[in-house]
Amino acid sequence: MNAAHDYRLIADVMQFIYREARLQDEHEYEAWEALWAEDAIYWIPAGDTIDPDKSMSIVYDNRSRIALRVKQLLTGRHFSQSPRSALRRVVSNVEVIAADGDTVRAAANAMLFESNIKGETLWASRNEYTLRRAGDDFLMARKKVDLVNKDKALFSMAFLM
Amino acid sequence: MDDVADALPIENLIRRDRVHGSLYTDPAIFERELGNIWYRTWVYVGHESEVPDANDFVMKSIGPEPIIMTRDGRGAIQLLHNRCPHRGNTVCVADRGNAASFTCPFHSWTFNNDGSLRGFPFPGGYQGVDRSRLGLGRVPRVASYRGFVFGSLTADGPDLHTHLGAARQAIDALCRTSPDGEVQITTGFLKHKVRANWKLVVENETDGYHPAFVHASIFRVAQSGIGSLYSDDSSAVARYLEDGHSENDLRPEFRKRDEPLGWFGTSPARLPDYVARMEAAYGADEARRIMIDGTPHIMIYPNLFIAEIQIFVLQPLAVDLTVQHVSALQFKGAPDLNRRMLQQTMGSVGPAGFLLADDAEMYERTHMGLRARDPAWLYIGRGLGRERRDENGFRVGAATDETPTRGIWEHYRSLMRTAQP
């Protein structure tokens, strides 16, 4: 069956993506970290970066750096998230791009409203996911957050994007 | 001249051990800073390695103003204003590229990448007009030091060599960390925006008092050695280098530890290719000395911060809005070191960086705090009682002292007292 017409798969992917969004909005750092596979890459490009091994990215984390990011947040003294930003995001336009064995590639649009002690900020992105089957669930092997305004100067974003 | 700004008794707002909060928040003072500092002194613009080939260009800035940095057809670096001399449109809207000329979209005037007018359509309407007066505005003074390109929007003043003063030795030391003697800026920039006055950012770059507190969260979980460099036990020093420049000189501590590449948190065994190239270039003894000393931590006033493994270029946009442009340093001839430089820089800096997100938070909260009116002054007297002169006559304090901040304000005072050109 064509992945784009596999409605059971699409429903599973959407539920996973919505769950990730909720864990991020609610600062459930450890539950969010548990969504990642051991060989994970979490990438937020900047500007016109094509090759993250040669150019600066806002975030380009392997699994151990994802763990470090979470550990820093859990200290409660990562001041850019202490107090935490109030967050609420809508993830929509979910598409399953391809399914190959245990691996599913999906993409979605995200709009995120952030409120913190300094003001309010609106973030928008195209998110690309590579998910891997793990029992009845998925793990994230790769997530790329392609910000609409990645070429502009951006305020801090130490929360989970 | 701006009568309001000119009437401000700025020299009364700066004392040896305190500065008045309005210096960070008053829009009239910000406007005056543009004229007296940003559009007058030497300002860092970009690096020659960002435009390696003929006709390359990259969009840069001097203060809030965009500046196009080009390498013209003859290989010379040019700094041009992005403003058509006809009716004021922008002639370039790309961040970078390769172009022998820029064409204004409004009436199709075309300019060579050295700024000169190449031509305009329907030239019959411009009979007798002197074309040489209708080029793009050029930054009156452009000069480089070891590939670092600076511009000054005022035709007269001290030359770049004089302006850099003791900062030249720091740039020399930086270049020596490359086996080929050259640094390059080739990894692109993150642009991190903060709702804070630019001077809060400048001061923080060589403030050795804050790391133990602001960065405690990452030091705790990453087993970083940085924290101990800025403690009461550290033999590192804070130094004011005159002309507004300041540094945290960490070499005394690194020399005490006597570990090559300890400054980068690694060891020769993990970067064998780099170590071999350094030894081939400088000889084993000198290479070892260079690899123990590490790279500088220096704030070159008003906008270039060289921070060991990365550079920050500060850009003021408004009295309460500043952008830090940050890129990983890359050392020519050191591919294995460069990969780690980029990885470590990406983890540390920018909007989601383990270090810089927290620095940014402090800039912004300080700017918020300054809206409270009492007390009206900020206290910058830390270490005054133990400040001394080093063998070169520069003021030196302990690693956590506010010697750099006091020097920066003394320089600011001298720049702001003089009349605008």
Residue B342 to chain A, least CA–CA distance (Å): 7
Query: Is residue B221 predicted with pLDDT exceeding 90?
Result: yes
Min mean pLDDT across A104-118, B223-237, B253-267, B351-365 is at: B223-237
Collect all residues of chain A within an 8 Å Cβ-Cβ radius of residue B343: 60
Query: Is residue B3 predicted with pLDDT exceeding 50?
Result: no
**Confidence band of B23 (pLDDT split at 50, 70, 90):** very high
- Residue A29 is inside which H or E element, if any? helix A29-33
Residue with tokens 């007297």: B381
**Confidence band of B419 (pLDDT split at 50, 70, 90):** low
Collect all residues of chain B within an 8 Å Cβ-Cβ radius of residue A154: 191-193, 351
Task: Please tell me chain A's helix, strand, coil percentages from 3-state DSSP, rounded to the nearest 5.
Answer: 25, 45, 30
**pLDDT for res B34:** 98
Which percentage of chain A shows pLDDT scores above 90? 94
CB B172 within 8 A of CB B146: yes
CB B38 within 8 A of CB B316: yes
C-alpha B378/C-alpha B94 separation (Å) is 42
pLDDT digits (tens, 9 = 90+) for B269-288: 999 999 999 999 999 999 99
- Give me the residue from A48, A119, A156 closest to B360, CB to CB: A156
C-alpha A72/C-alpha B240 separation (Å) is 33
pLDDT digits (tens, 9 = 90+) for A42-77: 999 998 778 999 999 999 999 999 999 999 999 999
Q: Report chain B residues touching chain A, CB-CB < 8 A.
A: 95, 186-195, 214, 216-218, 220-222, 323, 326-328, 339, 342-343, 345-347, 350-352, 354, 357-358, 360-362, 364-365, 368
**pLDDT for res B2:** 42
- Residue of B206, B200, B411, B188 whose CA lies nearest to B322: B200
**pLDDT for res B1:** 38
A112 touches chain B (CB under 8 A): no
C-alpha B408/C-alpha B413 separation (Å) is 9
Which percentage of chain B shows pLDDT scores above 70? 97
pLDDT digits (tens, 9 = 90+) for B378-416: 999 999 999 999 999 999 999 999 999 999 999 999 999
Query: Is residue B317 predicted with pLDDT exceeding 90?
Result: yes
C-alpha A61/C-alpha A43 separation (Å) is 6
**Confidence band of B11 (pLDDT split at 50, 70, 90):** confident
Collect all residues of chain A within an 8 Å Cβ-Cβ radius of residue B190: 46-47, 56, 58
**Confidence band of B157 (pLDDT split at 50, 70, 90):** very high
Burial of A76 (0-12, 13-18, 19+ CB in 10 A): exposed
C-alpha B419/C-alpha A21 separation (Å) is 56
**pLDDT for res A1:** 63
Neighbours of B265 (CB within 10 A): 15
Q: Indicate the pTM of the whole model.
A: 0.96
A70 touches chain B (CB under 8 A): no
What sign has the CA pseudo-torsion B111, B112, B113, B116?
A: negative
Average pLDDT value for residue range A99-106: 96
**pLDDT for res B5:** 45
Collect all residues of chain A within an 8 Å Cβ-Cβ radius of residue B217: 72, 75-79
**Confidence band of B8 (pLDDT split at 50, 70, 90):** low
Average pLDDT value for residue range B238-256: 97
Between the CA atoms of B157, B161, B165 and B171, what dihedral angle is there, to the nearest 10 degrees? 140
pLDDT digits (tens, 9 = 90+) for B35-70: 999 999 999 999 999 999 999 999 999 999 999 999
B277 φ, ψ (degrees, to nearest 5): -70, -35
Note whether A77 contacts B95, CB cutoff 8 Å: no
- C-alpha separations of B374 from A88, A122, B199, B379 in Å: 37, 34, 20, 13
